[in-house]
Structure 1
Amino acid sequence: MNPPSNALFPGSSQADWIAQVGKDLKDPNAYETLRWRVETSASAEGFVVEPFYTRDQLTDVPWQTVQAVQKAEPGWLNTPVYHLTGDTKVDNKAITEQVSSGADALILASGRAEGAAIADTSQLSRLLNGIKLSETPLFFDTTDSAADLLNALRTVAPYQLKGGLLSKPDETTAQATRLSADSPQFRTVCVSGHDFHNAGATAVQELAFLLARLTDTYDPLTEQGLTPEQLGPKTILSVAVGTSYFLEIAKLRALRVLWARFGAGYGISVPAFIHAQTSAFYESTATPYTNLLRATTEAMSATVGGCDLLTVRPFNALTSSSDAFGQRIARNVSLLLTEESYFNRVADPAAGSYYIETLTHQLTEAAWQLFLDVEAKGGLAKATDWVKTEIDAGYAARVQAVVQGKVLVGVNKFRFDEGVQADKPVVAQPSGEGLPVRRLAESFE
């Protein structure tokens, strides 16, 4: 598969490049020292990432299959999170300002404030005053039951809705899915991998355990009479995006391949719908402004990887100092990627990259095998202890890497006094599966 030779630019094989590396670095074994291993799980060997790639690596990679399931249309929705206060007047003003200041869609999260549940019709009407859900997609992450919220929305906004539910599916999710059947752009089944990510999972573990959770989510819904054809278009896959730029691009692309493979078994043919949020796991309280650097590269990975919704966390989201300034800067990260960098002009821009195509394939196969391992243990619910052990091992390896010198900007290197009020971090609660909420920088701040 090498390019044709000619007098000016003769073709070079992988072996030629390896020999050149040894020559330039004056060490015949130099190439081996430049390779690095991506861990998949505590019980697997992982896979190796090469220091460079040529066409030779694509010989055994089904890149046509990978590209065929990627997002066909470029662009994404800039989708900040707004935490409801419970005061509908204050909340409505804040929502309106977000939408008029660059947000394409919005996630409304309740549960932090007393009385922040929103499934009351009169309260919801005041909250959404001036917002039309057929034009501005709203995604709800609430403590209300799915069916109660849908009934209230249908009363307040009796037309086709855009948006969906980002809260964990409950016993009324099937009912909510039926209630929103006339709104194909309103999704009611959210499957999230954030708790795996924030506990320290590897990229492979995130993908595999998300797929296992998807299985556990679909089984009771199909038992309640919903068909896979009904569920597929109503599903949101929500993931966190970390700081390993190319790995995270490949992770989102691999998620689309895994969804297609999973869907083939269920008879689902619609493309994946992916919500990506910049990572809390890699954030630091030591020098908060460096979180802007992390969030920007994470957002770039998410958009190049093909997310449909992008949520950029404010740089000071970890602390109580998260404010209008932090929220504005977070919105602007997405705006800069569209208005100044034109990331929204090309669909699947990583397609054809020898590195990304190979990495996507490696992640896909490793995650699929780990998913099958979980299913062999009876599914995610029955394998909770084993999953926690696997993630703990992955987290321990990450911490050890920092101990051995891996750089965390603003934490163990390039740390300086920014003159920012050092507020106490907001304490996150463990997930329903008992997974801890961690940050990589915590032990080093």
Structure 2
Amino acid sequence: MSTFLFDGFETLSPSAWKQKIQVDLKGADYNETLLWKSNEGIVVKPFYSLEDRNNAAIDLPERGFRICQSIFVDDIGISNKLAIDALKRGANAIQFTATSSFDHQNLLKGIDLSETTLYFHLQFLDPAFVKLLDQYCKNADVYYQIDPIGHLARTGNWYTNLTADINHTKEIVEHIDCSLHVNTSIYQNAGANTVQELAYALAHTNEYIEIFGKSIIEKMHYSFSVGSNYFFSIAKLRAFRILHRSLAERHGVKSAKAHIFTQPSLRNKTIYDYNVNMLRTTSECMSAILGGSDTISNVSYDSLYHKSNEFGERISRNQLLILQKEAYLQEAQNIANGTYYIENITKQFAEKALEVFKQIEKGGGFLKQLKNGSIQKKVQESAKREQEQFNKQEIALLGTNKLPNKEDRMKDNLEIYPFLKQNNSKTLIPPIPPIRLSEQYEKHRLETEYYDREQ
């Protein structure tokens, strides 16, 4: 490539740029004025250069992302029709979520298993059923999202008890590939910051390695949620692949490659001015693509307050189709390579998460720190800090705590309860429940809707 257009320009070093900026600041301190530090301690600079590249080896997907439709298994016939319709309309992966065993033959009837990637998010442990299901799907690309430790973290209880859950999971993973899952969305949707989320994902993984042995690494896969910070979300997914590779190599497993299933976060979604959720999820899906997700399942703009409906699901799927087909991002998993800013913050995330991971391991491991409440405490501290920032409008959700539509009314439109439900049942450990930033604000506004109308 010719360089004649650039030959007339003097090459400036980063120190020269910084010196020029310092002059233009007219005495103001460079560090205090222009360096921004995130809640995680990530330092963001006003400019980046070649020196910020780190050329880290990242095991990104070899092919582009899959578009996934998430379907809850209740009525088998309806779930089957929804899956077939989604596949006809552009999806090439389906996630079935179930709380108990189901008629898998009728659920999968008419679905080309050789062309469809399947995710079974099973919120129960039944080795006999899973083996039967896997036998039926033996020619398909299948991932079983089975995560007993994640279930403990989210609900505060095992499915049965520690021994039974481990034994049932062991029976599954010994016979079936891609059968163990780490659901890091639990921590993100509860308010954990990005460094915590990465560290917990790594510690969560290491706990399974301690239980099932190092060979389990090759049977594991991951779920992440991505939020509003576009570049941080890209860097988070890339940083995890670096950390995963490092952990695998530490255990002598060099062939393991992280498979990442990504969804937009629910933490920043709102019921007021709900159409803004489409803007949020579009940005988040794009960061998931550029971050190198294997599969992406979008969240419907009205999923907080409406039951699953054809319009909402179609819009969410079309958002991904537009990014894939019209924005030409089908093979965009490598686009962030060489981006000075993203590579710099990716390195910072990986280094800081590794420090937290080491602290967890020194403290006895992830499961022990879940049991003694240390993980829950850290997540609560992060969530509290973020909530205070939202309350002060330092974190803005457009249409909610920033530029709200005073005429917006939602009280009569709630088909489902959009807030965290209090669980009064006895638990072994404090659970890590999902909670949205705008919940208290929305509760107050719902209570005053009729009063405001009368005024």
TM-score (structure 2 length as normaliser): 0.84
The one-character-per-residue Cα deviations of 1:92-146 (angstroms, maximum 9, x if unpaired) are 11121111111111110123xxxxx234xxx221111112333212111123425
1:256 corresponds to:
241
* Whole-Å separation in 1 of the counterparts to 2:202 and 2:218: 16
Secondary structure of 1:358's partner? helix
The number of aligned residues is 411
1:393 corresponds to:
381
1:332 corresponds to:
318
* Whole-Å separation in 2 of the counterparts to 1:26 and 1:233: 56
Deviation of 1:73 after TM superposition, in Å, equals: 1.9
For 1:174, give the aligned amino acid.
K
**1:179 aligned onto 2:175:** yes
Secondary structure of 2:95's partner? strand
CA contact (8 A) 1:13 1:56 kept: no
**1:165 aligned onto 2:153:** no
CA contact (8 A) 1:243 1:282 kept: yes
The structure-2 alpha-carbon separation of the partners of 1:325 and 1:236, relative to structure 1 and needing over 3 Å to count, comes to: same
1:206 corresponds to:
197
2:89 corresponds to:
101
The one-character-per-residue Cα deviations of 1:281-327 (angstroms, maximum 9, x if unpaired) are 11111221111111111111111000001111111111234411111
1:73 corresponds to:
62
For 2:285, give the aligned amino acid.
A
CA contact (8 A) 1:200 1:438 kept: yes
**1:118 aligned onto 2:97:** no
1:32 corresponds to:
32
The structure-2 alpha-carbon separation of the partners of 1:333 and 1:419, relative to structure 1 and needing over 3 Å to count, comes to: farther
2:9 corresponds to:
9
* Whole-Å separation in 1 of the counterparts to 2:226 and 2:205: 19
CA contact (8 A) 2:260 2:293 kept: yes
141-150 or 16-25, which deviates more = 16-25
1:147 corresponds to:
127
The structure-2 alpha-carbon separation of the partners of 1:155 and 1:30, relative to structure 1 and needing over 3 Å to count, comes to: closer
Secondary structure of 1:345's partner? coil
Secondary structure of 1:79's partner? strand
* Whole-Å separation in 2 of the counterparts to 1:394 and 1:286: 25
2:328 corresponds to:
342
**1:244 aligned onto 2:229:** yes
* Whole-Å separation in 2 of the counterparts to 1:437 and 1:347: 29
* Whole-Å separation in 2 of the counterparts to 1:374 and 1:274: 23
Q: Of 167, 173, 193, which aligns to 2:184?
A: 193
2:392 corresponds to:
404
Secondary structure of 2:10's partner? coil
Secondary structure of 1:434's partner? coil
CA contact (8 A) 2:226 2:263 kept: yes
The structure-2 alpha-carbon separation of the partners of 1:124 and 1:436, relative to structure 1 and needing over 3 Å to count, comes to: closer
The structure-2 alpha-carbon separation of the partners of 1:5 and 1:343, relative to structure 1 and needing over 3 Å to count, comes to: closer
CA contact (8 A) 2:182 2:223 kept: yes
For 2:438, give the aligned amino acid.
A
Deviation of 1:207 after TM superposition, in Å, equals: 0.3
Deviation of 1:419 after TM superposition, in Å, equals: 6.8
2:51 corresponds to:
56
1:435 corresponds to:
432
The one-character-per-residue Cα deviations of 1:313-371 (angstroms, maximum 9, x if unpaired) are 11111123441111111111111111011112333211111111110000000000000
* Whole-Å separation in 2 of the counterparts to 1:75 and 1:108: 22
* Whole-Å separation in 2 of the counterparts to 1:328 and 1:355: 35
Deviation of 1:260 after TM superposition, in Å, equals: 0.5
2:156 corresponds to:
none
* Whole-Å separation in 1 of the counterparts to 2:350 and 2:262: 18
* Whole-Å separation in 1 of the counterparts to 2:45 and 2:381: 24
Secondary structure of 2:368's partner? coil
Q: Of 357, 361, 366, which aligns to 1:380?
A: 366
* Whole-Å separation in 1 of the counterparts to 2:437 and 2:418: 14
92-101 or 416-425, which deviates more = 416-425
* Whole-Å separation in 2 of the counterparts to 1:429 and 1:156: 39
The structure-2 alpha-carbon separation of the partners of 1:243 and 1:146, relative to structure 1 and needing over 3 Å to count, comes to: farther
1:225 corresponds to:
none
CA contact (8 A) 2:273 2:404 kept: yes
Deviation of 1:250 after TM superposition, in Å, equals: 0.4
423-432 or 161-170, which deviates more = 423-432
Deviation of 1:178 after TM superposition, in Å, equals: 3.2
Deviation of 1:154 after TM superposition, in Å, equals: 4.3
The structure-2 alpha-carbon separation of the partners of 1:4 and 1:257, relative to structure 1 and needing over 3 Å to count, comes to: farther
The structure-2 alpha-carbon separation of the partners of 1:23 and 1:268, relative to structure 1 and needing over 3 Å to count, comes to: same
Unaligned runs of 5+ in 2: 149-164, 443-455
367-376 or 18-27, which deviates more = 18-27
Deviation of 1:30 after TM superposition, in Å, equals: 5.4
* Whole-Å separation in 1 of the counterparts to 2:8 and 2:269: 49
1:232 corresponds to:
217
Deviation of 1:212 after TM superposition, in Å, equals: 0.9
CA contact (8 A) 2:221 2:260 kept: yes
CA contact (8 A) 1:4 1:11 kept: no
**1:425 aligned onto 2:418:** yes
* Whole-Å separation in 2 of the counterparts to 1:107 and 1:400: 35
* Whole-Å separation in 1 of the counterparts to 2:60 and 2:421: 33
CA contact (8 A) 2:61 2:294 kept: no
Percent identity over the alignment is 29
Deviation of 1:263 after TM superposition, in Å, equals: 0.3
For 2:191, give the aligned amino acid.
G
Unaligned runs of 5+ in 1: 41-45, 112-116, 182-186, 223-227
For 1:243, give the aligned amino acid.
S
2:450 corresponds to:
none
Deviation of 1:376 after TM superposition, in Å, equals: 0.7
* Whole-Å separation in 2 of the counterparts to 1:153 and 1:6: 61
2:114 corresponds to:
134
CA contact (8 A) 2:22 2:30 kept: yes
